[in-house]
Structure 1
Amino acid sequence: MLRPIINKGIGRVIESILDLNPALDMDAIGDRFRRDRRVQIRDLLTPAAADAIHNLLAHHTPWGLGWRAGEDGPHALDAAALAALPMEERNAVATRIFKAMQSTGEYAFSYARYPILDAYLTQAHPDSPYDILFEHLNDAPFMNFIRKITGLQELHKADAQATLFAPNQFLPLHVDSHAAEGWRVAYVLGMCREEWRHDWGGYLNFFDEDGDVIAGYRPRFNTLSLFEVPTPHAVSYVPPFAPIGRFSITGWFRDR
């Protein structure tokens, strides 16, 4: 039996933090995914469940940092290591990322993260709300929903990471191709509470073989974006004037 979670922000017990909106038209959503190999589902969860996840992301997450600058990285700093990093070193990291992105041949990224799967497996924060969320994500009700939408009955588990793209952060064009690890469908559970302006960046963009954007999903509250692996995609640069609010849970649904 799944454990309930307490939404500390509203003082309410949520029996399932992934309670699906009963008004979802699963057949229509599934048709869109099978046609385009991607879909963004709006109003995914009940209001109470969506509020609980947003509250967890916005107010109860020990954010670390994921970054890379060319051949330097990838790096994954937890919240304690990030807090201990001197300001001069933070500035040096930002400079290395900037210079790597000036080159046409180097790759770089920067975003805030909390490793839900790793924390669960190592019991870093036993019985935390994120542990419970991870269990709900992998339990039969939600996994059956994902199987129905994608038509992939072989999917049997998910990994997870809390992700925040704050001002000056981004994830350039790349392709997830970890077939040996069973990655089949990538997901972004979006919890962007703000009415996100188009020029605040943070879009989940998809590209064709010529590098043209063929679709883009705006950051929204209570959405689930799904796309087949491998698919060229990126999260666009969040400019300095954007608010801190592009919150999500991200990962892959896997067949092994």
Structure 2
Amino acid sequence: MIREFVIHPLLDARRLEPVFNRSGRLHLPGFLTSAGAETLAAAVAGAEGWTVSTMGGGSTIDLSAEAFASADAATKAALIASAHGEARTGFHYMFESLRISDHAEAGLPLSPTLKALYAWLNSEPFLSFAREISGDAELAYVDAQATRYRPGHYLNEHDDDKPGAGRRLAYVLNLTPVWRPSWGGLLAFIDPDGHVAEAYTPAFNALNLFRTPQPHMVSQVTAFAGASRLSVTGWIRTGR
């Protein structure tokens, strides 16, 4: 199964290193060979065990996606109103998550494809690519979660800084087959003046890679979006 995931041979990490180091971020279309990308996209789209991940009073809140979907309209409206109230003036988020790392390490149910992906991300081919493109020889571990942004979901501005966690790079591997920029869900980088310096549309099988800490956000997915924004994302770290 792990052999299904292969970085496209045209992506030469050594040649890309000076481009990456110019701004500490890079958008890499066609990251995986097509068979691996299609296999992974199908596995994420068909995965079970999603949670609605959000915040309340500064703490993480995880709700079963099935339970949230079956809640009555008043309950949903109250939760969303509370979330938007906190998002208006501070860091906040709301999207669906499947924590691949946690499931794999705890032996919780996880599809064979997602287990294989987690193993591959922590194998030498991927880690060597990350070390070469970043020039960081200390990279040793990759965590992973699948994310699903439905209409209305968002991730406010933040920089991924977490002292002691060993986070050096963040990555997003996009898995939605078709996406329009007007649907939102863009990974946007914020400059010191508060402007959007650059933004990446979640193109299918594109890897977004960037150094941390670095201010960024995921813009809210619009009400008229024609799909859910699917990806696998996480941090490339110096250790667990």
Structure 2: 5+ residue runs without aligned partners? none
Q: In structure 2, how many angstroms separate the alpha carbons of the residues matched to 1:75 and 1:60?
A: 21
**Deviation of the 1:18 alpha carbon:** 2.1
Is 2:220 aligned against 1:233? no
Q: What is the aligned counterpart of 2:123 among 139, 162, 166?
A: 139
Per the alignment, do residues 31 and 61 of structure 1 end up closer, same or farther by CA in structure 2, a change over 3 Å counting? farther
**Deviation of the 1:129 alpha carbon:** 2.5
Q: Deviations over 1:115-147 (max 9, x none)?
A: 111111211116632222111110111111111
Q: Deviations over 1:24-81 (max 9, x none)?
A: 2323322211111111111111110000111011123432111124x25321234465
Q: In structure 2, how many angstroms separate the alpha carbons of the residues matched to 1:78 and 1:17?
A: 30
Q: How does 1:170-185 map to 2 (within 5 A)?
A: 170-185=154-169
Structure 2 length normalisation: TM-score? 0.92
Per the alignment, do residues 126 and 202 of structure 1 end up closer, same or farther by CA in structure 2, a change over 3 Å counting? closer
Is 2:110 aligned against 1:123? no
Q: How does 1:65-214 map to 2 (within 5 A)?
A: 65-69=52-56, 71=57, 73-79=59-65, 82=68, 85-102=71-88, 105-125=89-109, 128-194=112-178, 196-214=179-197
Q: In structure 2, how many angstroms separate the alpha carbons of the residues matched to 1:151 and 1:230?
A: 16
Residue pair 1:137, 1:158 contacting (<8 A) in 2 also: yes
Q: What is the aligned counterpart of 2:29 among 42, 45, 70?
A: 42
Q: What is the aligned counterpart of 2:207 among 224, 227, 232?
A: 224
Residue pair 1:18, 1:137 contacting (<8 A) in 2 also: no
Q: In structure 1, how many angstroms separate the alpha carbons of the residues matched to 2:12 and 2:236?
A: 21
Letter of the structure 2 residue corresponding to residue 239 of structure 1: T
Letter of the structure 1 residue corresponding to residue 76 of structure 2: R
Residue pair 1:29, 1:41 contacting (<8 A) in 2 also: no
**Deviation of the 1:91 alpha carbon:** 2.3
Provide the secondary structure at the position in 1 that maps to 2:4: coil
Q: In structure 2, how many angstroms separate the alpha carbons of the residues matched to 1:127 and 1:100?
A: 35
The residue aligned with 1:7 is none
Q: In structure 2, how many angstroms separate the alpha carbons of the residues matched to 1:226 and 1:119?
A: 24
Provide the secondary structure at the position in 2 that maps to 1:181: coil
**Deviation of the 1:253 alpha carbon:** 0.3
Letter of the structure 2 residue corresponding to residue 228 of structure 1: R
The residue aligned with 1:63 is 50
Residue pair 1:37, 1:227 contacting (<8 A) in 2 also: yes
Identity %: 32
Structure 1: 5+ residue runs without aligned partners? 5-14
**Alignment length, in residue pairs?**
239
**Deviation of the 1:172 alpha carbon:** 0.8
More deviation, 241-250/166-175: 241-250
Letter of the structure 2 residue corresponding to residue 120 of structure 1: A
Q: In structure 1, how many angstroms separate the alpha carbons of the residues matched to 2:118 and 2:195?
A: 35
